[in-house]
Chains A and B, each alone.
Chain A
Amino acid sequence: MDARATRRIGAALRAGARGARERPLVFLLAVATMAGGLLVLGAYLLVVANLRGVLARAGEDLRLVAFTELRGAANDGAVTALDARIRAQEGVASLSYVAPAEAITRLRADLGQDAGVLDGLERNPLPGSFEIAPPRELRDPKELHALADRIAALPGVTEVRWGEPWVEGYARLVRIVEWVGVGLGAFLLLVLGAIVASTVRLSLHARADEIQIQRLVGAGGWFVRLPFCLEGALQGLLAAALALLVLRAAFALGLPLLGDALAWALGGRPAVFFGAGEAAALVALGVLLGLGGALASLVNLDERA
């Protein structure tokens, strides 16, 4: 880029800064409105991020239980052979064998004071079982179903249970959260883009005489557009920073007020705020939004007028 082009860019940027200074009310109004929109979007993303954390942790506990007709201990030959066959299935991250003796011990512990009801039994009625943990990435109900069917078909396995309703509910909830997020995000982006475009159109109208004179003395299309793009991007940057600040303050001040209700909703997991990367992404979104809104309103700018 030659020196003249650099100086032209400098002049265009100064014109943009001057435009913002000359109409501070319009500029600040646009920043405040965009910040409001980004605040709503940011708050929703924060809820989603925390909810996904809860769901992910709950998903970690997912187990398939394969009951077997075998009743031996873990070192029994038939048990170790079936263990190996299950382990060889695709979609098995880890497994452990629960012998009938261990199963009844667990049941006694679970029953607590009522454990006496088991004293009358002549023999342990509980079967042996394998507790199978699928890998973390395997949470699709169809794939889990297929895994359960493969294990159930193995000789020696009598039944496989894996909490199908819970997994399907979990998957549905994640999908709903994601789709609502996409819908709300798209809606807010459109609204915010329209706000920026309207602001730029106001600025275009307010600066119509200046643009006409710039054109007369030889300003190119980008010279006219650049200040508005800069203004839009700056509005987006300031709006995103403001939204983050307000969100952070609300997070810090609001959490103690929610107390037990929040702890219950998050399953005891502490609420987390955006990390540096997520905050930077929100700021980048604000800048892109401002830039996009400005460009959209400048599409029909007459090159000859």
Chain B
Amino acid sequence: MIQMYHVDLRYAGGTYGLRDVSLVLERGDFVFLTGASGAGKTSLLRLLFGAQKPSAGQILVAGRNITRLPASQIPHLRREIGVIFQDFKLLPERSVYENVAIALEIAGVSRSEIRTRVWSMLKRLGLGHRIDHKPRMLSGGEQQRVAIARALVNDPPLLLADEPTGNLDPGLALDIMDIIADAHARGTTVVVATHDPALLDRYRHRRVVLDGGRLASTRGPEEYSSALRHLGGTRA
């Protein structure tokens, strides 16, 4: 699903956001992207959904070499990727329904099908009673569930989540992770950027550790704690 070969991301001024990162994720994988703040997690995710171009190396996502993808093709790539952010990125003046429907409208889905799919997705995420509410009337956990609904309503084969539980208290964070895990169980490839140890302890998936923009390790969960200790104990 994702192949990265010797990818560099260099900013103006010569500093590196990512350096020589090579990584392969199979279809159906669930991967935690972890590391301290500033390690390059968000930069890596931004490369994957085409918000930035790498300075060097090659990236293939769902069979497309996005390094060579012209800007006009980026929207087609993004219709196959669901993205979730820590700050939810919802439109405050639109209802829950409208916030979720926007992804389907842009994909050119008919209005009747949009109604069916949005309703079904909101019901699945426990938001059926909130369909006409504005985001400001919802709790943080509910707002993130709306964002997840928007990301998943198109049935994307790939879901990218950047600190999806960063603004939520622990109980709500686990709810959100359960929803993401459910999407994975339905066949979606999932990449979650987080530095929340509680999540990493609870969900036993592959972990890709970044340190200063470099790939420090990619391993199973049992090896993760010792790797973090080696990096200076940045688990918090």
Q: Which residues of A contact B (CB under 8 A)?
A: 3-8, 11, 22, 209-210, 212-221, 223, 303-305
B103 at the interface (CB under 8 A from A): yes
* A25 → B minimal CB distance (Å): 15
Interface-centre pick from A11, A213, A217, A218 (highest chain B CB count, 10 A): A217
Closest to A210 in B: B91
Q: A209-B91, A217-B150, A218-B79 are in contact. Are A303 and B72 (CB under 8 A)?
A: yes
Q: Considering the chains assembled together, what is the distance between the CA atoms of A209 and B135 in angstroms?
A: 14
Contacting residues, chain B, for A5 (C-beta < 8 A): 108
Q: Verify B71–A223 contact, CB threshold 8 A.
A: no
Say which size band chain B's interface belongs to. 20 to 34
In chain B between 145 and 160, which residues have their CB closer than 8 angstroms to a CB of chain A?
A: 150, 154
Q: Verify B74–A305 contact, CB threshold 8 A.
A: no
- Chief secondary structure at chain A's binding surface: helix
> What are 21 A-B pairs with beta-carbon distances under 8 A?
A3-B110, A7-B105, A7-B110, A8-B105, A8-B108, A11-B106, A22-B93, A209-B89, A213-B90, A213-B102, A214-B102, A216-B83, A217-B154, A218-B75, A218-B78, A218-B79, A219-B106, A220-B72, A223-B75, A223-B106, A305-B51
Q: Considering the chains assembled together, what is the distance between the CA atoms of A215 and B49 in angstroms?
A: 10
Closest to A6 in B: B108
Q: Verify A220–B75 contact, CB threshold 8 A.
A: yes
Q: Considering the chains assembled together, what is the distance between the CA atoms of A210 and B105 in angstroms?
A: 14
Contacting residues, chain B, for A219 (C-beta < 8 A): 75, 106
Contacting residues, chain A, for B72 (C-beta < 8 A): 220-221, 303
Q: Verify B71–A7 contact, CB threshold 8 A.
A: no
Closest to B81 in A: A218
Mask, B84-115, CB within 8 Å of A = 1, is 00000111010000000011011111110000
Contacting residues, chain A, for B65 (C-beta < 8 A): none
Q: Considering the chains assembled together, what is the distance between the CA atoms of A220 and B189 in angstroms?
A: 24
Q: Considering the chains assembled together, what is the distance between the CA atoms of A221 and B71 in angstroms?
A: 9
Q: Verify A218–B107 contact, CB threshold 8 A.
A: yes
- 18 extra A-B contacts, CB within 8 A, seeds A11-B108, A209-B91, A217-B154: A7-B111, A8-B106, A8-B108, A11-B105, A214-B106, A215-B78, A216-B78, A216-B83, A217-B79, A217-B150, A218-B79, A218-B106, A220-B75, A221-B71, A223-B106, A303-B74, A304-B52, A304-B53
Q: Considering the chains assembled together, what is the distance between the CA atoms of A4 and B104 in angstroms?
A: 10
Q: Considering the chains assembled together, what is the distance between the CA atoms of A4 and B75 in angstroms?
A: 15
B76 at the interface (CB under 8 A from A): yes
Contacting residues, chain B, for A217 (C-beta < 8 A): 78-79, 102-103, 106, 150, 154
B164 at the interface (CB under 8 A from A): no
Contacting residues, chain B, for A209 (C-beta < 8 A): 89, 91
Contacting residues, chain B, for A214 (C-beta < 8 A): 102, 106
B54 at the interface (CB under 8 A from A): no
Contacting residues, chain B, for A215 (C-beta < 8 A): 75, 78
Contacting residues, chain B, for A8 (C-beta < 8 A): 105-108
State which of A4, A22, A303 has its C-beta within 8 Å of the C-beta of B71.
A303
Q: Considering the chains assembled together, what is the distance between the CA atoms of A4 and B107 in angstroms?
A: 7
Interface-centre pick from A5, A8, A11, A216 (highest chain B CB count, 10 A): A216
B50 at the interface (CB under 8 A from A): yes
Q: Verify B51–A304 contact, CB threshold 8 A.
A: yes
Q: Considering the chains assembled together, what is the distance between the CA atoms of A3 and B109 in angstroms?
A: 9
Contacting residues, chain A, for B107 (C-beta < 8 A): 4, 8, 218
* B95 → A minimal CB distance (Å): 12
Closest to A216 in B: B83
Q: Considering the chains assembled together, what is the distance between the CA atoms of A250 and B79 in angstroms?
A: 54
Closest to A220 in B: B75
* B97 → A minimal CB distance (Å): 14
Q: Considering the chains assembled together, what is the distance between the CA atoms of A250 and B90 in angstroms?
A: 49
| Those 10 A-B pairs whose CB atoms lie nearest each other, nearest first | A4-B108, A218-B79, A303-B71, A11-B105, A218-B78, A217-B103, A220-B75, A8-B108, A7-B108, A218-B75
Q: Considering the chains assembled together, what is the distance between the CA atoms of A209 and B99 in angstroms?
A: 12
Mask, B195-235, CB within 8 Å of A = 1, is 00000000000000000000000000000000000000000
